[in-house]
Amino acid sequence: MIDLSNLKPAAGSRKKRQRVGRGNASGMGTTSGRGAKGQKARSGGSVPQWFEGGQMPIYRRLPKRGFKNPFRTEYAVVNIKDLAAFEQGSTVDRASLREKGKIPSLSVSVKLLGDGDISIPLTVKLEKASQTAIDKITKAGGTFEPI
């Protein structure tokens, strides 16, 4: 019977680590498997993974295209169908969406899109919404207030 007192790892699943620099008889003495001389033989002498030996690096060889806007605002997307989780007459804002797990964090801006249908009146207070989403909210008797 197996219990905590006689548990052992499976045969061959645990391997002793190779001890280097313990004499030539061990097979890993002298240079300890690092070869002879050179940067990689030295202590602390490692080369970054992306380093190409002084050759022009790939990120400088390849052409850059387009424009990266540093002021771009990323929005977390929420659809109208996601608002079905709220009770009638409740207020939908970033905090309530985070509570229901619809957005990743409170620090993101949120845009409401019009995918799906809504039948209950809600007060929605978010940064942005598509015109379709606003129309569906007002048709259901709710209101949209941009922050």
Distance of alpha carbon 34 from alpha carbon 40, whole angstroms:
7
State the DSSP string of 58-90: HHHHSPP-S---TTPPPEEEEEGGGGGGSPTT-
What is the domain partition of the chain in residue ranges? 75-146
Residue pLDDT tens, the chain, 147 long? 789 999 999 999 999 999 999 999 999 999 999 999 998 899 998 889 999 989 999 999 999 999 999 999 999 999 999 998 899 989 999 999 999 999 999 999 999 999 999 989 999 999 999 999 999 999 999 999 998
Domain 75-146, classified CATH 3.40.50.920, yes or no: no
> Structure tokens of 84?
């079905």
What number of H helices and E strands is found in the chain? 3, 6
Looking at the whole model, is its pTM more than 0.85?
A: no
Distance of alpha carbon 127 from alpha carbon 105, whole angstroms:
15
